[in-house]
Amino acid sequence: MKEVKTPTSSSYHDYLISSLKDPEHAAAYIGVMLELEEGREPELLRSALKDIIDARLLSDNLSEEAKQHYEKLDKILSETGGNEIYTLIEFLDALGYRIAIAPKD
């Protein structure tokens, strides 16, 4: 039987950050965090956004404007738990809509 190695959390995090350098992967990652229905944890959304910022920083692809917006949003999310965002998503769902995250062309 072949021995399978489980990645350590450090190597998984490195892999995740590396994959988030791709705008398509980053968009899908945010989308998944916004679509979680059970056990919505504001910390998951904050963590996902931080992962994307980390990936952009490693790629030297983060504008000062984006950094400022991230810091402002992170502060809001830490204070409110993202209730506004999740309420908007629930409202749109009730109307038969959903939010889609996609990279700009």
Long-range pairs of 21-24 with CB within 8 A, sequence gap ≥ 24: 21/55, 21/56, 21/58, 21/59, 21/61, 23/103, 24/103
Report CA-CA distances (Å) from 5 to 15, 16, 19.
15, 17, 20
Q: Which of 12-16, 34-38, 50-54, 99-103 holds the top average pLDDT? A: 50-54
Q: What is the 3-state secondary structure of 72-98?
A: HHHHHHHHHCCHHHHHHHHHHHHCCCC
Q: How confident is the model at residue 23 (pLDDT cuts 50, 70, 90)?
A: very high
pTM of the model: 0.81
Q: How far apart are CA 94 and CA 9, in angstroms?
A: 37
